[in-house]
Amino acid sequence: MSNKPRLVVVGDGMVGRKLANAMAGSDWHVDVLGEEEHGAYDRVHLSELFDGKSPGDLALPWDNAAAALHTGARVEGIDREARTVTAGERSFPYDKLVLATGSYSFVPPVEGVDSPGVFVYRTVEDVERIKAHAEGKGHGVVIGGGLLGLEAANALRCMGLDVTILEFAPWLMARQLDETGGGLLRRSIEELGIEVLCGTGAERIAEGDSGLVVTAGSEREIGTDMVVFAAGVRPRDELAREAGLAMGERGGVAVDDRCRTSDPDVLAVGEVAAVDGVCYGLVAPGYQMAEAVAASLRGEDASFPGADTSTELKLLGVDVAQFGAMDGPLHSTYFDPTAGLYAKLVLSDDAETLLGGMLVGDNGPYALLRASVGSKPPAKLADLLSDGAAEAEMPASAQVCSCNAVTKGTVTEAIAGGCGTVGELQDCTNAGTGCGSCVPMLKQLLSESGVEVSRSVCEHFPQTRAELFDIVRVTGISTFSELIAQYGTGAGCELCKPAAASIFASLSQGHILHGEQAALQDTNDHFLANMQRNGTYSVVPRVPGGEITPEKLIVIGEIARDFELYTKITGGQRIDLLGARLEDLPRIWARLVESGFESGHAYGKAVRTVKSCVGTTWCRYGVQDSVSMAILLELRYRGLRSPHKIKGAVSGCARECAEARSKDFGVIATEAGWNLYVGGNGGFKPRHAELFATDLDDEGLVRTIDRFIAFYMSTADRLTRTAAWIEDLDGGLDYLREVIVDDRLGIAADLDEIMRRHVESYECEWKGVLEDPEKLARFTSFANAPGVPDPDIAFRPERGQKVPLLLGSPGKES
């Protein structure tokens, strides 16, 4: 028997494993008792099991050769007098005992929770059961709108299920966000087609004729195929209770700042430990506790420094972050609901000290703001949310990885020492090996240090979007399942699926709602309409060049009147009909299509409008027929899917009434023909287009724009506007001119062919739905009650029209 002091760790989770590894090289003999048959795994990335990863892919390293791991060892009791732990028929003596038992899924007392098809979301085994049951199913209910609930909802969505989230709190992520932030997160999630019901819990679950029926608040019944509880966790403190240890007021084992319980030979770390009465459900505080305990057991003077609950996440594709205090004497807020951005800083009463804050929609400033807590705020919020976060210098002391307390200085030193990839930085510094939310920052630091960083679409495809575009173009692949089977890995995600769908549509691979294509689309494309903030949709028929007959104006007016739609003339010379219910969309489209209208593609990353002035037809200053050219171009490029939206304009003279130089492609008439400008855009960071070619005739203008759009569509990264794409080209506008005009790469014929195929294959997407009963069936608010309108949608009158009735109102920077 070894004379070494004996340490027993009960629990082989992330924190227990961290402690065991931290004891490597010490004078202690370590026994780790884990009740699961497999070793510790990365529970933070549990959802990746839905994307094709195996439990082995999530396995955590065992870095302590002198320690002993006992799997399948469920601890049944602690004898504090004898200082032994009993697991089955074995007894383990200890000099020090550490409880790292973690937590369990909380299931509220709801009638019917033991029904078949009801699950919790916590372990590898839970995931396997959920995956097996979800196969071939159509709908799932997730109970819980916190971190776990949104993660579970995304998992079901990625498996092809429609999802309803029930959250008892008034808004999503109430522990991390205020009402405005939670409301914006809800809207962003609803835009993905996920139904969110806040202030609502499940009252009962019953077995129905074709699945389960969940009764929610106000006696609403939701038909579903499965229910997943992800309503939070509770500390697994039963061993400590039975052993007579002091408990926290709200559960958990009461510990001091050295993680010692009421018995000095028994310690507790992680989610089971109640520090000042609080149990922390994040991995970073657990890791800090484990390191403090390990240091103390090695004879060092160490204590738990207090929990940093800052968190940076991407939930269903939406950036969310919270750092420091959530409330305080003063607030500075920024809210842009159109761009999906919200930020709040909590300040001291003299506004000189940053105490904390939150971000929704853009986590770019997170690292800088988090590092600035306790000091002067670095910049105005509006500046940080544009380019200020990139331009502001992050100090070396700024913590890049909160899970492992890795600073920017540590990362940059590792890069200077030869680390050239994210993986190498992870191995060297441990940054990015916890929750993984700091990986984008690691890429940014690599890039800032002059290291070339991968531009792959996502972890499922090593190729760039441009490479995937060429693969699809050359091979003729027309389904995502075939594409990922041959050229990717896993099941795909919210990044690569819409990107692939866009590529298929760009290359005229059938209707976007045909077959499995429908499941790849973002919400707006899925329903061929823009979702609005109250869950209704907008309808924008195409009005080429802004030219419209009185008869068509009357039709639009009649439809707006009959369906009680809010009506507005857009900046692109079209008419927007807002407030349409989902189930009304096909009826509205039918009347528009019958009258000669078609989809304006206002919902798609596609060519939107080509705006025009009245040109020589009416204007005494006009030198060319701008209306006819605008109509020709808009009809030529209508419905063309691209990495981002594209807008155009044609002005009939240099007075520029169509504002062509603010568009992705802008045309201005000259006495000799047309001048072409490219690379302009409005939006959060407006840019003027630059002069590309002069005095083109009609044929030359169309050919040049054809190639410009086709080259952009073929080579730009997803969600990159033409302006940013041109800036990234090596050689910029001059290189673009060499490719398109001079055919330097010898691809002009290929670009011409891409556009020819699009023009010949174009069909109105609205009409395609109306002619297909299977596609039509998608347009209902409730799958289990076709035709029943959503009762949560309400309106109020304003200036003779109806507008959404919502709680609260947009704020502004203060």
Provide the pLDDT for residue 388: 42
Residues 69-90 have a mean pLDDT of 93
User: Measured between alpha carbons, how far is 754 from 737 in angstroms, rounded to an integer?
Assistant: 19
∠ Cα 590 592 593 (to 5°)? 65
Provide the pLDDT for residue 127: 92
Integer Rg of the chain from CA: 29
CATH of domain 6-104+235-297: 3.50.50.60
Q: Is the pLDDT of residue 275 over 80?
A: yes
Provide the pLDDT for residue 571: 84
Provide the pLDDT for residue 46: 85
Query: For residues 462 and 634, which has the higher predicted lDDT (pLDDT)?
Result: 634
Residues 649-657 have a mean pLDDT of 93
pLDDT tens column, 131-179 = 999 988 999 999 999 888 998 998 898 888 999 999 988 999 988 899 9
pLDDT tens column, 694-713 = 999 999 999 999 999 999 99
Contact 83, 97 (CB under 8 A): yes
Q: Which ranges in 533-639 belong to alpha helices (H)?
A: 550-562, 585-594, 615-618, 626-637
Provide the pLDDT for residue 811: 33
Provide the pLDDT for residue 633: 97
The neighbour count for residue 714, using CB atoms within 10 Å, is 21
Q: Is the pLDDT of residue 499 over 90?
A: no
Distances (CA, A) of 616 to 186, 583, 652, 691: 49, 44, 7, 22
Lowest mean pLDDT among 74-78, 362-366, 719-723, 773-777: 362-366
3-state SS of 261-304 is CCCCCEEECHHHEEECCEECCCHHHHHHHHHHHHHHHCCCCCCC
Residue with tokens 């008869």: 551
The first and second tokens of residue 484, run together, are 């990922």
Residues 443-448 have a mean pLDDT of 78
pLDDT tens column, 415-430 = 888 888 776 887 788 8
Provide the pLDDT for residue 776: 85
Amino acid of residue 14: M
Give the single-character DSSP code of 308.
Answer: -
Provide the pLDDT for residue 381: 65
Contact 783, 223 (CB under 8 A): yes
Residue with tokens 């001291």: 348
The H or E element that residue 410 is part of is helix 408-416
What band does 361 get if pLDDT is binned at 50, 70 and 90? confident
Give the torsion sign (CA, 34, 38, 40, 46): negative
Give the single-character DSSP code of 27.
Answer: S
Give the single-character DSSP code of 770.
Answer: H
Residues 112-121 have a mean pLDDT of 93
The H or E element that residue 18 is part of is helix 14-22
Instruction: Give φ, ψ of 487 to 5 degrees.
Output: -130, 0
150-154 long-range contacts (CB < 8 A, ≥24 apart) are 150/189, 150/315, 150/316, 151/46, 151/47, 151/121, 151/230, 151/315, 152/47, 152/121, 152/228, 152/230, 153/189, 153/194, 153/316, 154/47, 154/315, 154/316, 154/494
Mean pLDDT, the chain, whole residue set: 86
The H or E element that residue 124 is part of is helix 124-134
The H or E element that residue 413 is part of is helix 408-416
Q: Is the pLDDT of residue 593 over 90?
A: yes
Residue with tokens 């009347």: 591
Lowest mean pLDDT among 217-226, 305-314, 496-505, 632-641: 305-314
Provide the pLDDT for residue 754: 92
Strand residues in 284-385 grouped as ranges (E)? 311-315, 318-324, 330-336, 341-347, 354-360
Q: Is the pLDDT of residue 755 over 90?
A: yes
Provide the pLDDT for residue 33: 96
Instruction: Give φ, ψ of 9 to 5 degrees.
Output: -110, 115
Provide the pLDDT for residue 8: 97
Q: Is the pLDDT of residue 293 over 90?
A: yes
Provide the pLDDT for residue 527: 77
Provide the pLDDT for residue 117: 94
Provide the pLDDT for residue 814: 28
User: Measured between alpha carbons, how far is 601 from 639 in angstroms, rounded to an integer?
Assistant: 6
- Using left for φ > 0, alpha for ψ between -120 and 50, and beta otherwise, residue 678 falls in beta
Provide the pLDDT for residue 563: 93
User: Measured between alpha carbons, how far is 453 from 442 in angstroms, rounded to an integer?
Assistant: 10
User: Measured between alpha carbons, how far is 119 from 116 in angstroms, rounded to an integer?
Assistant: 9
Right CATH number for 310-392 from 3.90.1300.10, 3.30.390.30, 3.60.10.10, 3.30.420.40?
Answer: 3.30.390.30
CA dihedral 284, 288, 291, 293 (to 10 degrees): -130
What band does 793 get if pLDDT is binned at 50, 70 and 90? confident
Contact 15, 283 (CB under 8 A): yes
Report percent pLDDT > 70 for the chain: 91
User: Measured between alpha carbons, how far is 579 from 274 in angstroms, rounded to an integer?
Assistant: 49
User: Measured between alpha carbons, how far is 360 from 367 in angstroms, rounded to an integer?
Assistant: 14
107-231 under CATH 3.40.50.620, yes or no: no
Contact 190, 531 (CB under 8 A): yes
Provide the pLDDT for residue 36: 87
Closest Cα partner for 445 from 428, 469, 461, 467? 428
The helix/strand count (H/E) of the chain reads as 27, 39
Provide the pLDDT for residue 42: 87
Lowest mean pLDDT among 400-404, 504-508, 808-812: 808-812
Instruction: Please name every residue paired with 16 in a beta bridge, in sequence order, or none if there are none.
Output: none
User: Measured between alpha carbons, how far is 144 from 360 in angstroms, rounded to an integer?
Assistant: 19
User: Measured between alpha carbons, how far is 369 from 377 in angstroms, rounded to an integer?
Assistant: 7
Q: Is the pLDDT of residue 436 over 80?
A: no
State pTM to two decimals.
0.55
Contact 345, 331 (CB under 8 A): yes
Residues 610-626 have a mean pLDDT of 92
Where are the domains positioned within the chain? 6-104+235-297, 107-231, 310-392, 394-453, 465-521, 525-761
Strand residues in 402-508 grouped as ranges (E)? 406-407
Instruction: Give φ, ψ of 60 to 5 degrees.
Output: -90, 150
Give the torsion sign (CA, 783, 785, 787, 792): negative
Contact 433, 411 (CB under 8 A): no
> Fold identical between 6-104+235-297 and 525-761?
no
Provide the pLDDT for residue 749: 94
Provide the pLDDT for residue 328: 85
Give the torsion sign (CA, 497, 499, 505, 508): negative
Rounded to 10°, the helix 698-715/732-740 angle is 120
Give the single-character DSSP code of 763.
Answer: -
Provide the pLDDT for residue 605: 87
The neighbour count for residue 577, using CB atoms within 10 Å, is 22
What band does 807 get if pLDDT is binned at 50, 70 and 90? very low
Decide the pairing of beta strands 311-315 and 318-324. Answer: antiparallel
Residues 57-76 have a mean pLDDT of 88
Right CATH number for 525-761 from 3.10.450.50, 3.30.413.10, 3.40.50.300, 3.30.565.10?
Answer: 3.30.413.10
Question: What are the residues whose beta carbons fall under 8 Å from the beta carbon of 371, sequence distance 6 or more?
Answer: 394, 395, 397, 398, 399, 408
3-state secondary structure of 17: helix
User: Measured between alpha carbons, how far is 188 from 524 in angstroms, rounded to an integer?
Assistant: 11
Q: Is the pLDDT of residue 813 over 50?
A: no
What band does 44 get if pLDDT is binned at 50, 70 and 90? confident
pLDDT tens column, 527-567 = 788 777 667 888 999 999 999 999 999 999 999 999 999 99
Contact 687, 664 (CB under 8 A): no
Contact 582, 790 (CB under 8 A): yes
Report percent pLDDT > 90 for the chain: 44
Provide the pLDDT for residue 391: 44
Right CATH number for 394-453 from 3.40.50.300, 3.20.20.20, 1.10.10.1100, 1.10.287.70?
Answer: 1.10.10.1100
Residues 5-11 have a mean pLDDT of 96
Residues 432-446 have a mean pLDDT of 69
**DSSP line for 55-93:** GGGGBPP---TTSEEETT--EEEEETTTTEEEETTEEEE
Contact 479, 735 (CB under 8 A): no
Residue with tokens 């002059």: 450
